[in-house]
C-alpha cells in the first residue's frame, strides 16, 4: 500500500488499460487519443492552452519549464524551502542563469515579503522570471502561490514558473484566471498514473519569451511539443501505454469533478494532521501552509525509521522517509491521487498500532481524531 | 499487428508484468530490480559498464549521449544519411558544437572514406567526437559502424558516439571489444517494451571527457545516472512499470541468447528483402548495408500510401510510411524485437494480397521467396 507522495496508487482499470498492446504513435487512432487527453488535461489544468506531455520524470519536465523561456545571464528569483526548491536553483545555475535564491527554512513557508522586496526594488525590470515550488514534497509545506503570483503580476515583466508536481490535481490552481505563465507536473502524482510522463503548459506571455530565449535545448524544447500538440501529435515517440492509462485516469477525474477532488485532498490532509496531533506526532509544516498531498512528521522520542520499518514489515504500508539533512528524522505520509477515506483511516490505524508496538502507546486515538473530520 | 520500426510488438507476459501495481522506487525491492536489470542490460550491451536508463524517448537519450561529453565549440563529425542523422546534426548545432556533417544520400550508406579524410587531416586532434546512426530507421540503411569505428580508433583522440536505437538487440555490437565510447538505444525497439525509456552506456574514455565537458545539463546529466546506477538506484523517479516489463523482456532475451537473436533478425531481413524482390518492389537500401530492423521499399507504379492503407484496413497490419521528403513515396516494414518467422510470413502474404487488390498482381510469389530463407 503506497502512502508516499509518488509513485501514488493507480486504479486497477488504469493498470489494465496500460496492459493493452501498444499501437503506432503516428496512427489516426493515437492522434485521436492525444486530442482527447489534451482536452481533458486542459480541463484539469484550468487552461485554454495546450498541456504538453513530455516522456520524462518531474525533474525533466520542470527543467523544460525553466529553460525554454530564458537565456544565459537572465536574472531569476527562485524560492527554496526544501529539496525541490534547491534542485531548481541547481538547474537554473547549471544553465548559467543569474539566480537570486529566496530561502526559507525547511518546514517554513516562503515569505511573500521576501519576493516583494526583490521585485519592488527591480525598477529596471531585470528579473525575467520568478520560480517557486508550490507543494514542497520534501517538507509538506504548501507555499502561497496566489500571494507570490500577485506580486509577480505587479512587477509586470517577470514570468511566474511553478513546480506543481504534487499540487496539480490536489489543490485548486486556476491557471489561466491567475495568469500562471508556466506550470509543470508529473504523472505519478495527482494523475493516478505510474511515473514516466510530465505535463507542462505555458501562457501567451511565456510563448512570447520563448521566441527570444536562447538556452540550448532539443528534447526538452517545448516549442516542438506545442506545435505538435496543435496537430494532435508529439515531436518524439510518446509513452504510448501511459497514454492509454491517462485516458482512463482523466475520465475518472472528470467524473469526480475538480471541486470534489480538491475537497477530498483537503479532507485527507486535515484528517491526517488531526490524527498526528492526537498521536503526539509533531507536524513539520504549519497548519496555515500544509500540503494537501503529503503530511510530514518529525517524531519526538520515537525513531522515524523504526516507524517506517514496522509500517512496512508488519502492515505492508509504504511511508516516505526524510530527504537530505532530514534523512532518518522524518516520515512523510502521502495522500495524493487515488486515495480514499478508507486508505487514510487504514494508514492511521496502522500507525497507531505501530506506535504501540514500539512501546509508545499514544494517549489519544488518531483514528478518532481523523474520523471526526472524515 | 505492428510491423513498424517502433513501437514494436510487446510479448503478453511483458504487458502483464507492467500491469502490476507500482512500488516505491526507493524501496529495497526496487533497488534489487535495478541491480538485476542493469546486469542483464550489460549482457545485452556486451559491456562491463553501467547501462543507464533514462525516462525519455530515443531522441532524449541520444541527446544525452552527445551533450555529456562535449563543450560548446568542440569540433564533431556527424554522419548523416537520413532523418535521424539530420536530427543529431540539429542537436549538436543547438548546443553550439562545431559540426562537420558527413553526408550521404538517403538510401546510401555513409562512406568510411569520407570520415578517413577528415580524421586523417586532423593532425592537431581537434575532432573531439564522431557520431553516427548505426541503423538509419528512416531509410533502412545499416551504416558500417565497425569500419568507421576503426578510423576513429586510429585518430586516437575522438570519441565514437553511436545512435544504436534500432540496431541494439538486432545486430551484433560488441561494445567493449570494439571500444565504442557512447551508445544509446530505446525501449520500444529491440527491447520488446513500450516506449518511455532509453538506454545509454559510456566507456572509461568517455567518462574522462565528461569531467571537463561543460555543455549545460541536469535531467540528462549522465554522471548522475551513473553514480546512482553504482548504488542500484536512479537520480530521478524512474518509469517503475517499464522496469517491471524490462525484467521479463530481458529474461526472454537471455533465454533466446544473443547469437540466436541476431540470427533471427538477419533471417527476417533476408526473407523480407527476397520477398520484396520477388514481388517487384524496389528496395531503398543496398543488400550490403541493409538494416536488420527495417526494410524500406519505394514502390514503382503503385502508391506507397495505398499499400499502407489496404494493409491497415483490410489486414490490420501497420507499416510505416516515408519520412520528410520521402513521405508518400515509401513504406517501411519493421521486423525488430518480438517478431517471429510467422509474423514475417504473415506480413508478406498480406502484402502480396494487397498488391493484387490494387491491381498489381505480382508475377512471382513473395511468400515462396521468403519461405526459402525462413
Extract the C-alpha cell encoding B370. 521468403
Q: Do A22 and B194 touch (CB under 8 A)?
A: yes
Architecture of domain B258-373: Alpha-Beta Complex (3.90)
Q: CB count, 10 Å around CB of A150? A: 17
**Looking at chain A, how many residues does it have?**
374
Rounded Cα distance between B297 and B307, Å, is 11
> Residues 303 to 322 of A: which have CB under 8 A from any B CB?
318, 320-321
Q: CB count, 10 Å around CB of A12? A: 11
Does B336 touch chain A if contact means CB atoms closer than 8 Å?
no
Does B323 touch chain A if contact means CB atoms closer than 8 Å?
no
Residue pairs spanning A and B at CB distance below 8 A: 167
Q: Do A58 and B10 touch (CB under 8 A)?
A: no
Partner-chain residue, chosen from B21, B195, B242, that has the shortest CB–CB distance to A238:
B195
Rounded Cα distance between A325 and A83, Å, is 9
Q: What pLDDT, on the 0 to 100 scale, is given for residue B278?
A: 98
Q: Half-sphere exposure of residue A271, counting CA atoms within 13 Å on the CB side?
A: 27
Among chain B residues, the shortest Cα distance to A27 is held by: B318
Rounded Cα distance between B304 and B310, Å, is 10
Q: Do B60 and A55 touch (CB under 8 A)?
A: yes
Question: For residues A373 and A271, is the Cβ–Cβ distance under 8 A?
Answer: yes
A156: alpha, beta or left? (left if phi > 0; alpha if psi -120 to 50): left
Q: What pLDDT, on the 0 to 100 scale, is given for residue A158?
A: 98
Q: What pLDDT, on the 0 to 100 scale, is given for residue A373?
A: 97
Q: What pLDDT, on the 0 to 100 scale, is given for residue B161?
A: 98
Instruction: Give the pTM.
Output: 0.97
Q: What pLDDT, on the 0 to 100 scale, is given for residue B227?
A: 98
Portions of chain A given CATH number 3.90.1150.10: 258-373
Residues of A in contact with B16 (CB under 8 A): 19
Q: Do A21 and B9 touch (CB under 8 A)?
A: yes
Extract the C-alpha cell encoding A316. 505492508
- Residue B131 in 3-state DSSP? strand
Residues of A in contact with B240 (CB under 8 A): 7, 188, 194-196
Question: For residues B285 and B140, is the Cβ–Cβ distance under 8 A?
Answer: yes
Rounded Cα distance between B288 and B273, Å, is 12
b vs e for A281-316, b when ≥16 Cβ sit within 10 Å of the residue's Cβ? bebbbeeebbbbbbbbbebeebebbebbebbbeebe
Extract the C-alpha cell encoding A18. 496500460
Q: Do A237 and B188 touch (CB under 8 A)?
A: yes
Extract the C-alpha cell encoding B250. 530481458
Question: For residues B70 and B76, is the Cβ–Cβ distance under 8 A?
Answer: yes
Does A95 touch chain B if contact means CB atoms closer than 8 Å?
yes
> Residues 189 to 248 of A: which have CB under 8 A from any B CB?
194-197, 215-221, 236-242
Residues of A in contact with B25 (CB under 8 A): 7, 195
Q: What pLDDT, on the 0 to 100 scale, is given for residue A163?
A: 98
Q: How many helices (H) and strands (E) does chain A have?
A: 14, 12
Containing B334, the helix (H) or strand (E) segment is strand B331-334
Portions of chain B given CATH number 3.40.640.10: 12-255
Extract the C-alpha cell encoding A128. 525575467
Q: How many helices (H) and strands (E) does chain B have?
A: 14, 12
Q: Do B22 and A10 touch (CB under 8 A)?
A: yes
The low-confidence residues of chain B, meaning pLDDT below 50, are: none
Among chain A residues, the shortest Cα distance to B334 is held by: A24
Place of cell 530527504: A323
Architecture of domain A12-255: 3-Layer(aba) Sandwich (3.40)
Q: Do B195 and A219 touch (CB under 8 A)?
A: no
Closest CA to B171 of B197, B199, B135, B205: B135
Q: What pLDDT, on the 0 to 100 scale, is given for residue B82?
A: 98
Q: How far is CA A127 from the centre of its chain?
A: 25
> Residues 245 to 284 of A: which have CB under 8 A from any B CB?
none
Mean pLDDT for back-to-back runs of 10 residues, chain A (374 residues):
97 97 96 98 98 98 98 98 98 98 98 98 98 98 98 98 98 98 98 98 98 98 98 98 98 98 98 98 98 97 97 98 96 98 98 97 96 97
Strand pairing class (A182-186; A135-136): unpaired
Give the ipTM of the model, two decimals please: 0.96
Question: For residues B140 and B295, is the Cβ–Cβ distance under 8 A?
Answer: yes
- Residue A316 in 3-state DSSP? coil
Q: Do A21 and B15 touch (CB under 8 A)?
A: yes
Does B60 touch chain A if contact means CB atoms closer than 8 Å?
yes
C-alpha distance from residue A220 to each of A49, A56, A57 (Å): 18, 9, 12
Query: How far is A367 from chain B, CA to nearest CA, in Å?
Result: 25
Containing A202, the helix (H) or strand (E) segment is strand A198-202
Amino acid at each position: 500500500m503506497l502512502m508516499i507522495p509518488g509513485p501514488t496508487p493507480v486504479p486497477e482499470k488504469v493498470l489494465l488499460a496500460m496492459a493493452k498492446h501498444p499501437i503506432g504513435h503516428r496512427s489516426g487512432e493515437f492522434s485521436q487519443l492525444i486530442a482527447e487527453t489534451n482536452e481533458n488535461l486542459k480541463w484539469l489544468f484550468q487552461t485554454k492552452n495546450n498541456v504538453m506531455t513530455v516522456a520524462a520524470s518531474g525533474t525533466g519536465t520542470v527543467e523544460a519549464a525553466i529553460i525554454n523561456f530564458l537565456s544565459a545571464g537572465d536574472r531569476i528569483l527562485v524560492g527554496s524551502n526544501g529539496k525541490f526548491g534547491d534542485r531548481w536553483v541547481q538547474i537554473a545555475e547549471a544553465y548559467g542563469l543569474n539566480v537570486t535564491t529566496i530561502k526559507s527554512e525547511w518546514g517554513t513557508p516562503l515569505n511573500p515579503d521576501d519576493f516583494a522586496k526583490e521585485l519592488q526594488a527591480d525598477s529596471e525590470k531585470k528579473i525575467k522570471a520568478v520560480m517557486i515550488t508550490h507543494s514542497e514534497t520534501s517538507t509538506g509545506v504548501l507555499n502561497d502561490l496566489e500571494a507570490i503570483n500577485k506580486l509577480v503580476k505587479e512587477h509586470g515583466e517577470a514570468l511566474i514558473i511553478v513546480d506543481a508536481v504534487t499540487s496539480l490535481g490536489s489543490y485548486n490552481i486556476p491557471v489561466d484566471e491567475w495568469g500562471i505563465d508556466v506550470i509543470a507536473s508529473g504523472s505519478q502524482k495527482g494523475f493516478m498514473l505510474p511515473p514516466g510522463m510530465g505535463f507542462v503548459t505555458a501562457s501567451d506571455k511565456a510563448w512570447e519569451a520563448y521566441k527570444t530565449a536562447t538556452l540550448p535545448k532539443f528534447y526538452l524544447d517545448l516549442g516542438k511539443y506545442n506545435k505538435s500538440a496543435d496537430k494532435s501529435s508529439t515531436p518524439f515517440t510518446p509513452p504510448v501505454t501511459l497514454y492509454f492509462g491517462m485516458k482512463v485516469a482523466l475520465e475518472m477525474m472528470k467524473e469526480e469533478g475538480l471541486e470534489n477532488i480538491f475537497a477530498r485532498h483537503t479532507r485527507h490532509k486535515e484528517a491526517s494532521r488531526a490524527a498526528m496531533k492526537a498521536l503526539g506526532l509533531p507536524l513539520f509544516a504549519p497548519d496555515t501552509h500544509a500540503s494537501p498531498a503529503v503530511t510530514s512528521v518529525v517524531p519526538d522520542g520515537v525513531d522515524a525509521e523504526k516507524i517506517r520499518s514496522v509500517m512496512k514489515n508488519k502492515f505492508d504500508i509504504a511511508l516516505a522517509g526524510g530527504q537530505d539533512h532530514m534523512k532518518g528524522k522524518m516520515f512523510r505520509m502521502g495522500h495524493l491521487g487515488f486515495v480514499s477515506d478508507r486508505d487514510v483511516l487504514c494508514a492511521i490505524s496502522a500507525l497507531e498500532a505501530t506506535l504501540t508496538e514500539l512501546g509508545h502507546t499514544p494517549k489519544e486515538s488518531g483514528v478518532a481524531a481523523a474520523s471526526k473530520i472524515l
